[in-house]
Amino acid sequence: MGNTPIDMQLLNACAALLLLLSFAMLSQRRVVSLVNLLAMQGALLCIATLLLAWRTGNNHLYFSAALTLGLKVFLLPWLLHRLIRRLQVYWDTEPMLNIAGTMLVGLLIVVFAFGLAQPISALASTATRSAIGIAVAVILLAFLMMITRRKALSQVVGFLSMENGLFFGAMSATYGMPMVVELGVALDILVAMLVLGVFFFQIREQFDSLDLHHLERLREDK
Amino acid sequence: MNFSELATQVLEILAALAAAPLFLGWVNQCRAWLQNRSAPSLWLPYRSIRKLFYKDAVLAQNASALFRIAPYIVFGAMTVAAAIIPSMGTRMALSPVADAIALVGLFATARMFIALAAMDIGTAFGSLGARREMMVGFLAEPALLIIIFLASLLSATTALPAISEYLATQPLALHPSLAFTAVAFTMVLLAENARIPIDNPATHLELTMIHEALLLEYSARHLALMEWAAALKLFNYACIGFALFVPWGVATGNGPLQILVSIPVLALKLALAGAGLALIETLSAKLRVFRAPEFLATAFLFAVLGLLVHLLLGA
Amino acid sequence: MTSISPLTACLALIALWGAIGLAGLLRPASLRFAGRALFLLGALCGLSLAGVAVWSLGMPTERLVLPLGLPDLPFHVRRDALTSVFLFLLGMASTGISIFAAGYFRKGTGASPGLLCLQYHLFLASMGFVLLADDAYGFMVAWETMALSSYFLVTTQHRVAEIRRAGFLYLLIAHLGAMAILLCFGVLQGGSWQFTFDAMRSAQLQPAWATIAFLLALFGFGAKAGLVPLHVWLPEAHPAAPSPVSALMSGVMLKMAVYGALRVTFDLLGEPVWWWGLVPLGIGLFTAFYGVVFAAVQTDMKRLLAYSSIENIGVAFVGVGLAVVFFGTGLKVLGALALVAALYHCLNHALMKSLLFLGTGAVLHATGERNLGKLGGLIHRMPWVAWLTLIGALAIAGLPPLNGFVSEWLLLQAFLFADDIPHSFINMLIPMSAALVVLSAALAGYVMVKFFGIIFLGTPREASLSQARDCGKLERLGLLWLACGCVALGLLPAQVIAHLNLVAEELLGTSLPSSTSSWWLLAPLPERQASYGPLVLLMAVAGVVALTFLCVRLFYHRRERRGPAWDCGFVRLDARMQDTAEGFGQPIRHIFQPFFRIERELPTPFDRAPRYRVTVSDRIWRALYEPIGSAVQWLADVCAFLQQGRIAIYLLYSFVTLIVLLAVML
Amino acid sequence: MEFLLLLCVPAGGAIALGVLGGRRRAPELNVAFSLATFIAACVLTARVVSEGNLLLFREWFFIDPFNVFLVALTAFVGLTTALFSRPYMRIEMEHGRVTARRLRLYHAMYQLFMLTMLVALTTNNMGLLWVAMEAATLSTVLLVTLYRTAASLEAGWKYFILCGVGIAQALFGTILLYFAAEKVLGAEGVTALLWTHLNSVKGQLEPAVLGLAFVFLLVGYGTKVGLAPLHNWLPDAHAEGPTPISAVLSGLLLNVAIYAVVRCKVLVEGSLQSSLPSQMLMGFGLVSVVLAAFLLWRQRDIKRLFAYSSIEHMGIITFAFGMGGAVANFAALLHMTVHSLTKSAIFFTVGHAAQKTGSQLMDDIRGLVTISPTIGWGLMLGTLAILGLPPFGVFASEFLILTTAMKQQPWAAPILLLALGVAFAAIFRRVQPMVFGETTAKRLPHPPALLPVFAHLAIVLALGVYVPPYLADWYRAAARLIGGP
C-alpha cells in the first residue's frame, strides 16, 4: 500500500470507518447514540464523496456530497432526535440475539460480503473498487440490525444505515448514479422519513409505545 | 319357422301346462312316502287349482290394479319360459326369441311382480315375504347364470336349445365341471322353488315362510294362477336341469317320431327328478332365513368352481 | 344459402339453448314465461337435436373451426358417429325432462324462474358443446361450464346447509377431475404441443405415457361419472338438486363422462393396450356392486336413485373396459359388442334414470317427502306417476322386454365369449366378473322392488299422503315420453344396434356382423346362435296373459268382493306395520356388512322410551377423504407456522432469501 | 401530448385533491380525474396501435407492447376503482370511520399512487423505475393506515418496512446494473440506465455482475410482487386498508412490480446466457403458489383470503414468466390482465359485503344473495373466475400456463395443479356460505355501485372465449420481447 496516493488512503480509511460504525451500531443499545452514529456515517460518506469528487473532478459528486451533508448529516438526524425527544424513547430493549452473537453473525456477513464483492471489484475501473465489498457489508449489517432490533425507531435507523450503504456502494462502484436518479432517491428517503414520523405518532397514539411487540397481532398461527 | 317347429312349440307349452301340477303332485307324493305318511293323491294339485278357480275372489280393500294383474303376468311369464326351455325338442319356433339369459330375465320379471303384488296390500307379512323373496332371488339368479354360462362356454352359445343339442350330440364324456354345477343347480332349484332347506311349501309358520307369505292375500282365481305358475316354475327348473345335465333323449331334429320318443323320456326324467327332489327335501332340515344367503353362496361357489374347473381343465 | 349440415344444425340448436337461457333473464320473475314457455321451447330444441343426431348418424365426419377461443387455439368442433349417439341421448332425455320441468317449477322455490331457466339451458348447451368440442380448450371450457351450471342448479335451495355442502363437494370433485383431464390432454398431445384433438390423434405416444394418459382420463372422467372411490359427491348432489336437474345430471351428465372416456381411449389414444381395460373393468365392477349395495340400504328415495346411478355407470364402465380388453387382444368383433353394450346401457340409463328421478320429483311435489319411511300407497293417489315409474323401475331392474335388459344381455354376451382372450388368467377372471355383473343386476331388482314398493304400494304411512294429487299434464307428458323411450329401446334393439354399430365401426374399425335374420330379432353374433327378440317375447307373454284372462273370464268368472286384508287373520293392521325402508334393506345390511359403516343405538331393557337408531354410512369417506382433509389441514398449519406476525422474522426471511440466492448466483 | 396528459392529469389530480379532497363532491372529482387519465390512456393506446412503439422525452419514457396494455389496464381499473370508491368512501364517512381530512389524504394519495404506477410503467429509466416504485409504496402506506386502528397501523408498518428494505435491495441491484452498463455504454449522461439501450447491448453486459444485480432486483421487486417468502406484508396490507386500496394494490401494484421484475429479467437473461434467473422465478412462483394455497385454508378474514389468492396468482404469473417462451409469456400477460380485473372486481364486492354486514370476518357474512343479489352473484362469479373455472379468462391463461408447464417443466405441473386444487377448496368452501345460505341482515335500500364489478367480470368472461386480435398481437409482441427458452 506504500505507493497508494494519500487521497486513496484516506478514502480507504473512510470505508473502514464506515464498516466500524456499522458494527458500532449493531452493538449500540441507546437510541440516541444510534442516531449519532448514523449521522457520523453520513458525515463519513460526505467526506468520502468529497474526496472522490476532488480526485475525479466529477462535478456532480460535489453536489452529491452537499446533498449527503444536508440530508444525512443534518436533516435526518435532526428529525430523528426530535422524534426521540417527542416520543421519549431512549433505550432499545434487549435485542433478539445477544450482542456477542450478533457481532459474530455480523463477522460472517462481512466475510460473505467481501466474497460477494470480489467479482464486481475485479471488473470495476474506479479507484474505489476495493470499497465495494465494504458497501455490501454495510448494507447487509444494516439488514441484520433491522432484524435484531425491537424498537421501531432503531429499525428505522437500520433502514437509513442501509441507505447509506447503498449510497456508498453507488459511489465506489460507479462514482454515483446519474443526477436525476440520485435526486429522486434522496427525495424518496426524505418523504419516507416524513411518513415515518407520521407513523410513529400514530403508533404511539395507538399503543403508547414504539415497541414492536405490539405489532405482532396479524399472524397466521393463531 | 316351419310347421313342425310350431307344432313342437305348442306341444311343449301344452305339455308343460298340463304336466306341471302333476309333477308337483308327484314330488309331494314321493315326499309323503319317504316320510312314512299316507300320500295325497297325485291329482291333488289339479283339484285344488280347479277348486280355487270356482271360488269367489276376495280382494283387500286397498288392492290396486297391480295386485290383480300380477297373477296373469306371472303365469304368462312362466308359460313363455316353458316355451323356451327345450323339454322335448330343441327345434322350436320361439327358441330364437329368448336365450338362457332372457329366460333368467323372465323368471326375474315374474319374481318382481310377485314381490310387488305382495307389497301392494301393505301387510307386514306381504312386505316381509317380498323382501325375503327378493333376497333369495338376487343370490340365486347369479348362481343360475353362472351355471348357464358354463354350459354356454362348452357349447359357445347362450341359446338353451342349442346348448342342449350340443350336449346331447356330443360323444358321452365326463365333464367334471358339470358335476359341480349340477350340485349348484340343485341348490338353486331348491331355493328358487321354495323347497325345504330354504322354505317349506307346506307351512304358514309366519317367521319362516317366504313363498306363502307372498300369496297370503290372494284368493280364488288369482291364487289358482299363482299356484299354477309356481308349479310351472318347478317344472321349468327341472327341464332346465335336464337340458343342461341330462339332455339325452331330447329331440334334436324335426321328425314327429323323435318328438314322440322324447315324451316318455321326459316323463322318466321327471319321475326320477321328482323322487330325487323329495329325497333331498326329506333328508334336509329347514334352514333359518338368515342362513339362506350362506346356502345360496355355497351354490354360487359351486357354480364358480365348476367354471374354474372348466377353464383349467378345458373340460 | 348453403345447405345445412348436421354439424351446423347442432351448433345452431346448442346456441339456441343458450339463447333460451338468456331469454329467461328478460322476465326472470315470470313463471309463465321463463318457467313454462321457455322450457317447452327448450324441449322442442332437444327434440330437434335428437332428430338431427339420428339424421346425421350415417353421415361422414364433419369439422368446423369457430372464430372463438384462444388466439392460437380457436374452438374446433367435430361431429362423428360417437358424437351423434350422445347428442341423440342428450336430445331424447332432455326433451322429456324439459317438458316435465315446464310443469314442475312452482312459485317461491328458491331461485327465480329466469335464473333457473338460464342455468338449466346453459347446462344443456354446455353438454352439447362437450360432445362437439374437438380441441382441449373448447372441451375444458364446455366441461367446466357444465360442472358450474349444474352446481348452481344443485344449490338452488341454497338455504339448506346440507345442500350447500353437497354443492361444494360436487364442484370440488368435478374440479379435481377436470384437472386430471387437463393433465391427460397435456400428455396426449405427445410433443406436438397442439391441443386440437386432431393433433392428439396423430401423436405417437410412448407406451408409458399413453398409459399415464389413460389413467388420468379414467380418473378425470371417473370423478364425473362417480366411479368408486370418487363417487361421494353423487349421493349428496343428486338429492339436493330439483328433480329435473337430478334427472339431467344422473341421466345425461354422467354419460358425458362415459363419452369422454370413450373419446380418449379409442379415438385420441388410438391403439389402447389390452390390459388398460382391466382397470375400468375392475373399477366398474366394484362401482356397480358398491353402488347397488348402498342403494339397497338407503332411506331417501333420491339418494337411493343416486346410488343406483353409481351402479349403472359402473356397468357402463365395465363395458368400456371389456371393449378395451377385447380390442387390445385383437378380438375386434367382441370389442364392438362390448362397446355397443356400453353405449346401449348409457342410452338406456339416460332414459330410465331420468324417468325415475322425475317420478320422485312428482312424488316430492305431491307429498313434500323424500323419506321412504313416510311414503306409501301412492299408486292410488297418483296412478300416472306410479305406472310410468313402474316402467322405469322394471327397466332399470333389467327385466325383459324393457330396455335395461337389452344392454345387460349384450354385455353378458360379450362376457361369455371372452374365452378367446390369449391370457388364461384373465380368461378365468372375466367370467367371474360376469357373475358380479349379474349379482349387481339382480340386486338392482331388489332395490327397485324396495323403491317402487315402498313409495307406491301398501298403505300410506302418513296421514298427509291422502292429500297427494297426481301430477299435471306437462309432467305426465314428460314422464310418458321417457317411458315410451324405455319401451321403444327395449323392443327394437336391432334397429338401435344398427345405429350404434356405426360408432363401433368408427372407433374400432370393426362392427358387429349385421343380424341378417330379421328386423325383430337381435342377434349380434350370428355364429353364436344367441338371439333375443323382445317384441315377440312381449307378444308371447301378452298373448298368454290375454288368453288366460279370456279363459278365466269366460269359464271361471265369479264374484269379486272387497274385504279387509287377511294377513293371517291379524285384524289390527295399520300402516306402520308395513316394512320400512330400513327393514327392507336389512338383509343387504346383514349380508354385506363389511361394506358399510354401521352405527347402532340400541335401547336397554330399562329404557322408558326405547329408541333404536341405525345409521349406515360410507366407509370410503372415513378411509379416504377424511385423511386427505386432515393432511391438508396439517400442511396448512405447518405453513401458518411460518407466519408468526413478527416483523423481525419476516426480515429474516428476506435476508436469508437474499443470502441464499446470492450464494446460488456465485 | 397524450402521454404528457397521462402523467399530468393524475399529478394535477393529486394536487387538486390535496386541496379539495375533503369536500362533499371530492369523490366525483376523483372520478373525473381518473376518467381523464383513462381517456388519455385510451388515446395513447390508439396512437400506439396506429404508430407503433414510442420513445418520448429524450428517451426517458417509452411505450412498447409490454407496457401499453398495462397502462390501459391501470387507467381502466383506476377509473372503475374510483367509481367504486365513490359510494364506498361516502358510506365509510357516514359510518364515521374516516374524517374529511383523511378523505382528503385518501383522494390525494389515490391520484398520486396512480401517477407513480403510470410512471413506473412507462419510464425507460431503470433508476426512475425504482424511484416510482418506492413512491408507490410511500403513497399507499398512509392509505393502509387510514383507519388508524391497531391492526391497520401494524399492517402499515410491516408494509413500509418490508417493502422499504426490499426496495433498497432493488436499488443496489440497479446500481450494479448501472455499473455493468457503464462499461459498455459509457458513464456520460443517463443512457446507461435506459432500458432500451441496455436491452440493445444486453449481450455485452458483464454476466457475473448482472447475475448479482438480478438477485438484488428480484428480492427487491419480488417483495412488492408478494413472492413467498417475501410476501408477509401483503395479506396484512390488503386486509387492513380501505377496500378500494386493496383493489388497486392487488389489481395494479402487484402487476407493476412484476412488470419491473420481468424488465430486469429480460436484461439479465440476455447477458447471463444461463437459465438461472428463469429457475429462480420458477422457484419463487412455485413456492408462492403452494404456500398461498395452504395458507388460504386457514383464513377467517375475507380480505386476507383474497390477498393470499393474489399471492397465489402472482406465483402463477411469476412461474410462467420463469418458464418463458412465446406461449408461457403470452399466458402470463393474459393472466396479469384477467387477474387484475377479476381480483379488483372481487374486492369491490367484498368491500360492499363487509360494509353491509359490518364485519370482514367470513363467519359473519352470510346469505349475500339474499341481501343483495348483485353483490352475491358478483362475489360468486368473481370467485369462480379467480379460481380458474371456465369460461372465464383466468382459465384460459391457466390452461396455457399449465400446458406449457407440462411441456417444459413436467415435474411442476402436478404440483401446480395440486396447489390450485387446494386453493379451490380453500376459497370456495369459504365463499359459498357467504354468498348463499340464510341471513339475518335486511335487504338494503340503496343498491351498491356494481357497474365496475360486472364490467370487469364481463371483460374477463369475454377474454375466456375470445381474445381480440390486436390484444393478442400485443401479447405476442410482448412475449417475444420477454423471450426465454
pLDDT tens column, C361-395: 999 888 888 888 888 888 888 899 999 999 999 99
Q: Are B9 and B93 in contact (CB under 8 A)?
A: yes
The structural domain count of chain C equals 1
C-chain CB neighbours of D271 within 8 Å are none
Average pLDDT over residues C142-151: 92
Q: How many angstroms separate the most distant Cα atoms in chain D?
A: 70
Helix (H) or strand (E) holding B185: helix B176-192
Among residues B253, B77, B76, B271, the alpha carbon closest in space to that of B161 is found at: B253
Q: Is D189 on the interface with A (CB under 8 A)?
A: yes
Answer with the residue of higher pLDDT: A88 or D196.
D196
Does residue A68 register a pLDDT over 70? yes
What's residue C91's pLDDT? 93
Residue C554 included in any domain:
no
Nearest-by-CA chain C residue for A147: C648
Q: Which of B13, B112, B136, B310 to mutate to test the interface with C (most CBs of C within 10 A)?
A: B112
Residue B4 included in any domain:
no
For the packed helices D412-435 and D302-323, what is the interaxial angle rounded to 10 degrees?
160
Return d(Cα C340, Cα C323) in angstroms, integer: 9
CA atoms within 13 A on the CB side of B135: 27
What's residue D485's pLDDT? 59
Q: Is A166 on the interface with D (CB under 8 A)?
A: yes
Q: Which of B170-184, C483-497, D313-327 has the lowest mean pLDDT?
A: B170-184
What's residue A27's pLDDT? 83
What's residue C123's pLDDT? 94
Residue B35 included in any domain:
yes
A-chain CB neighbours of D109 within 8 Å are none
- List, in order, residues 6 or more apart from C341 with CB less than 8 Å away: C319, C322, C407, C410, C411, C413, C414
Among residues D158, B134, D303, the alpha carbon closest in space to that of C649 is found at: D158
Pairing of strands B57-60, C560-563: parallel
Average pLDDT over residues B213-229: 86
- List, in order, residues 6 or more apart from B110 with CB less than 8 Å away: B73, B74, B77, B78, B81, B229, B233
Does the distance separating the beta carbons of C566 and B109 come in below 8 Å? Answer: no
Among residues B301, B27, B315, the alpha carbon closest in space to that of B184 is found at: B301
Residue B244 included in any domain:
yes
DSSP state of C29: T
Return d(Cα D350, Cα D434) in angstroms, integer: 10
Return d(Cα C306, Cα C289) in angstroms, integer: 14
Average pLDDT over residues B87-111: 85
Q: Are D339 and D395 in contact (CB under 8 A)?
A: no
Does the distance separating the beta carbons of A202 and D125 come in below 8 Å? Answer: no
Answer with the residue of higher pLDDT: A106 or D1.
A106
Does the distance separating the beta carbons of C172 and D466 come in below 8 Å? Answer: no
Q: Is C422 on the interface with B (CB under 8 A)?
A: no
Helix (H) or strand (E) holding C65: strand C62-70
Nearest-by-CA chain D residue for A164: D168
What's residue C516's pLDDT? 52
Report residue C121's pLDDT band, with 50, 70 and 90 as the boundaries.
very high
- If DSSP codes are grouped into helix, strand and coil, which group holds residue D327? helix
Question: What pLDDT digit, counting tens, does each position of D424-446 carry?
Answer: 999 998 899 888 877 776 666 55
Residue C634 Cα, gap to closest chain A Cα (Å): 12
Question: What pLDDT digit, counting tens, does each position of C582-595 carry?
Answer: 888 888 888 888 88
Task: Show the DSSP H helices in chain A as ranges.
Answer: 6-27, 31-56, 59-68, 76-87, 99-123, 132-148, 152-174, 179-207
Domain range enclosing B257: 11-313
Residue B251 included in any domain:
yes
What's residue C1's pLDDT? 41
The interface residues of chain D toward chain C in range 67-126, judged by CB-CB distance below 8 A, are none
Average confidence score pLDDT of chain C: 87
B97, B108, B303 member nearest C537 (Cβ): B97
DSSP state of C249: I
Domain ranges of chain A: 6-209
Answer with the residue of higher pLDDT: A93 or C646.
C646
Report residue B204's pLDDT band, with 50, 70 and 90 as the boundaries.
low
B-chain CB neighbours of C457 within 8 Å are 64, 66, 116, 119-120, 122
Answer with the residue of higher pLDDT: B88 or C651.
C651
Q: What is the CB neighbour count within 10 angstroms for residue C45?
A: 26
Nearest-by-CA chain A residue for C663: A116
B101, B142, B308 member nearest C409 (Cβ): B101
Residue B3 included in any domain:
no
Question: What pLDDT digit, counting tens, does each position of D13-42 carry?
Answer: 888 888 887 778 888 899 999 999 999 999
Report residue C33's pLDDT band, with 50, 70 and 90 as the boundaries.
confident
Question: What pLDDT digit, counting tens, does each position of D198-210 carry?
Answer: 888 888 888 888 8
Return d(Cα C379, Cα C386) in angstroms, integer: 5
DSSP state of C512: P
Average pLDDT over residues B44-51: 88
Question: What pLDDT digit, counting tens, does each position of A132-191 carry?
Answer: 888 889 999 999 988 888 888 888 888 889 988 888 888 888 777 777 778 888 888 888
Average pLDDT over residues B27-35: 88
A-chain CB neighbours of D217 within 8 Å are none
Average pLDDT over residues B215-239: 89
What's residue D442's pLDDT? 67
Question: In the A/D pair of chains, how many CB contacts fall below 8 A?
Answer: 134
Q: Is D175 on the interface with A (CB under 8 A)?
A: yes
Question: What pLDDT digit, counting tens, does each position of D147-177 carry?
Answer: 888 888 889 888 988 998 988 899 999 988 8
User: pTM higher than 0.95 for the full model?
Assistant: no
Q: Are C250 and C305 in contact (CB under 8 A)?
A: yes
Q: To 5 degrees, how large is the angle CA D213–CA D216–CA D220?
A: 135
Residue C633 included in any domain:
yes
D130, D153, D295 member nearest A206 (Cβ): D153
Does the distance separating the beta carbons of B105 and C409 come in below 8 Å? Answer: yes
Q: Are D204 and D184 in contact (CB under 8 A)?
A: yes
Does the distance separating the beta carbons of D219 and C654 come in below 8 Å? Answer: yes
Answer with the residue of higher pLDDT: C1 or D349.
D349
C641, C648, C659 member nearest A96 (Cβ): C648
Q: Is A122 on the interface with C (CB under 8 A)?
A: no
Determine A/B contact with 3+ CB pairs under 8 A as the test.
no
Residue D417 Cα, gap to closest chain C Cα (Å): 7
Of chain B, the percentage scoring pLDDT greater than 90 comes to 12
What's residue C129's pLDDT? 93
Q: Are A138 and A106 in contact (CB under 8 A)?
A: no
Does residue D357 register a pLDDT over 70? yes
Question: What pLDDT digit, counting tens, does each position of C195-225 carry?
Answer: 888 888 888 888 888 899 999 999 999 999 9
Question: What pLDDT digit, counting tens, does each position of D268-311 carry?
Answer: 888 887 888 889 999 999 999 999 999 998 888 999 999 999 99
Report residue A1's pLDDT band, with 50, 70 and 90 as the boundaries.
very low
Report residue C21's pLDDT band, with 50, 70 and 90 as the boundaries.
very high
Which of the given ranges, B50-59, B267-276, C425-434, has the highest pLDDT on average?
B267-276
